[in-house]
Each structure stands twice: as C-alpha cells, then as structure tokens.
Amino acid sequence: MALVLVSYGPGGSLGCDLSQNHVLVGRKNLRLLGQMSRLSPRFCLQDRKDFAFPQEIVEGGQLQEAQAISVLHEMLQQTVNLFHTERFSAAWDTTLLEQLRIGLHQQLDDLDACLGQGMGEQNSALGRMGPTLAMKRYFQSIHVYLQEKEYSDCAWEIVRVEMMRSFSSSASLQESMASENLPQGSTRRRLSQASSSLIFPMAFVLSLLMALVLVSYGLGGSLGCDLSPNHVLVGRKNLRLMGQMRRLSPRLCLQDRKDFAFPQEMVEGSQFQEAQAISVLHEMLQQTFNLFHTERSSAAWDTTLLEQLLTGLHQQLDDLDACLGLLTGEEDSALGRTGPTLAVKRYFQGIHVYLQEKGYSDCAWEIVRVEIMKSLSSSTSLQERLRMMDGDLNSP
C-alpha cells in the first residue's frame, strides 16, 4: 500500500499539522509499553538481538517534511500490525494492549489527514524511497526473529524493549514536526483534522484504506481503475472459504435469524458510476476484513481458513488501492458520504450490534457467516461488472 504523501522539493511542506495532543498520545503509548513488561530483560540476555533500527534516518534531521511523515506513518502502521496478532494478544495484559492499540490508531488517524494530498505515482515513489524501505526491513527482521524464537516470552520481551526504542525515536520525530507546525508566525495552510471513522481498531492494512479515495467524474466518467481477472478469482475463492468455515448447521440457529437489511438494490444496481461502484466495493471489503480480524472472530473459526480469508480480502483491498491516489482529500470524503457507501456502513454496524447483543454466540457467528456470504456474493458480481467496464473502456 502506498503511503499517500509526497515531497514538494527541498524545504517543501505538506501543510500537515501534527498537534501537541498527537505528541502527548505518543508519550502515553511509550508509557503503556513500559507498563506491559512481564519479565525482567535480565532473564532474556541470551535472546538479545540487534535489529538494526535506522536511527540516523529517523533522528538525523535531514528528512523533508513529506519524507518524515512517510517514515513516521510506516513506523506506526508496522507497530499496529505487529501488536494486532493473536500471538501478541496472548503475550500481554489485554487492558494495556487495548489502550495501546487505541493510542496507535489515534495517531494514525491524525496522519491520515495528510494522506489525501498525495497523488498516485508520487505516493508510490515516496513509499519506495530509502527511509521508508529501511523501516519496512527493520520490522521484517522483527517478525523473522519472533518466528525463529517461536514467539517465546523472552522473545516478546526483547521485542517490547526494542519497540520502546523505536517509539522513543518516533516521539522525537513527532515533536520536531509538531514544533515546526506551531502557529508562531507560520503561514502554512492548516489541515482540517477530521478523523477517519474506524469501526474496528485495525490499522494492519488499514490506515490507508480508511478513506475511500474515489470520486465520480460525471456520467460515463472513468477512474481508469483496472481490476484484473485475478481480482475476481480471489473474490470467488474468498466466497468458497466462507462456505468452508461453517461449523454449525444453520438449521440449528433458526431462532437467531435476523434481517440485516443488506442494501442489495444499491450494490447490485446498474445505476452506479464507476467511482461510486468502487467506493461501495471498497467499503464492503474493508468492513468484512474488520469484522473477521478480531479476537472474538479468531476464537470462532478454523484459524487456517480464517487466515486464508483475511489474506484474500487484503489482496483485494490492495488491488483497489491502485485507485486511491487518483483523487484529492475533499473529493474522497465527499464520495464517502454518499448514500450507497453510507448504506453499507450502516449495514455492517447492524451486524456488529447484533453480535454484541447475542454475546458473540456460536449461532450468532453462524448467522453472520451466512449473511456475509450473501454480501460477498454481491460484491463478486460488482467486481465482475467493474472489470468488464474497464475492459470496454480500455479497448481500442
């Protein structure tokens, strides 16, 4: 996924205002990591490892504003990904862990206010630059280390200490950026910092995906977003996986049935312009991912099938992200507020409320599984129509 930020040349500014509250949240996250200690690091000296944290890049002061935001965003996103795993949840105090996740998402929401200012090719170019790639490699080495150590208690403790180090460096970077954005004679344009709406704390893929960065260009207009045949095949595979995840006969759960008011006419209707269709599809896939990427969901389903499903959904969302850099921030939020997309949001909110009311029972999850198969089937039809639409538009 492209970090949707762009450098405007030496000394250039994105006009991204990181408030002092953003810095305070970063400090709180650092304190939470300190409180999460369960072992003395002295007991784990044999497991120590140099993860080659790119400290000179992060703290060197040579980064332009856009590069700094890109690096900071990558650090926070990778940290969320690391801490939002079943293995990590089992290793730490759940209350502290949840507070940490909330803080990380709050910071990512702040940075997302900057994302709409980048444009497609420039975003991906910045995402491929040395500082951001160095950060990716750093976190990759942490994941490899945990696997090699079989996620032992000492391995997690070593990683916790390492994350405190990176948090400290990121806090320094945030503070320097916040001080640069204080209105002391500055003429920078300040961004509105309306938060993106995350229904579930899962930035894993997600901070970029929160904004549905698509817009209609008028009747018959095209975003030029090419959904490959493989995208459709992955959608069909996801539908099959949902079928295989069945653990109860739906007949045993008839008393738990509910009409979730799936907006079928909106999703399957032919009145969509291309941008609206992609916006609705993106929202459906994102909300499905959020629903199944929870601890309660992990406990309800076969872990192998669930992981395959999440991987497939993530792959489809990555495909749609190719469209995200085509538009500007105000345009995204305008499309995200349109009727079809809001209808999909309300539909999934109804599912979350239902699961809570039913105490996440086995029958409740089975009813939801059948319901999501219905929505995935509709989204597959929508994907196929979009692919054919782009085929017609791209044909000579």
pLDDT at 368: 93
Range 145-153, long-range pairs (CB < 8 A, 24+ positions): 145/49, 145/51, 146/87, 149/47, 151/87, 151/91, 152/47, 153/38, 153/39, 153/91
Q: For 145-152, what is the mean pLDDT?
A: 91
> What is the per-residue pLDDT across 381-393, written as a single tens digit (0 to 9) for each?
666 666 665 544 4
CATH architecture of the domain with range 20-180: Up-down Bundle (1.20)
Whether 199 has a pLDDT exceeding 70, the answer reads no
pLDDT band at 208 (very low <50, low <70, confident <90, very high): very low
pLDDT top residue among 19 and 395: 19
Q: What's the CATH number for 211-394?
A: 1.20.1250.10
Name, of 101-115, 249-263, 273-287, 327-341, the range with top average pLDDT: 249-263
> What is the per-residue pLDDT across 39-56, written as a single tens digit (0 to 9) for each?
776 678 788 888 888 877
Q: The whole model's pTM is what?
A: 0.43
pLDDT top residue among 224 and 363: 363
pLDDT at 192: 29
Residue ranges, CATH 1.20.1250.10, the chain: 20-180, 211-394
pLDDT at 18: 63
pLDDT top residue among 56 and 230: 230
Whether 356 has a pLDDT exceeding 90, the answer reads yes
> What is the per-residue pLDDT across 248-301, written as a single tens digit (0 to 9) for each?
887 888 899 999 988 877 666 555 666 777 778 888 888 898 899 888 887 888
Q: In this prediction, what percent of the chain has a pLDDT beyond 70?
A: 61
Whether 240 has a pLDDT exceeding 80, the answer reads yes
Whether 117 has a pLDDT exceeding 80, the answer reads no
Q: Report the mean per-residue pLDDT for the chain.
A: 71
Q: In this prediction, what percent of the chain has a pLDDT beyond 90?
A: 11
Range with the poorest average pLDDT among 34-43, 57-66, 338-347: 57-66
> What is the per-residue pLDDT across 159-193, written as a single tens digit (0 to 9) for each?
988 888 787 766 666 666 655 554 433 333 332 23
pLDDT band at 348 (very low <50, low <70, confident <90, very high): very high
pLDDT at 198: 30
pLDDT at 175: 62
pLDDT band at 33 (very low <50, low <70, confident <90, very high): confident
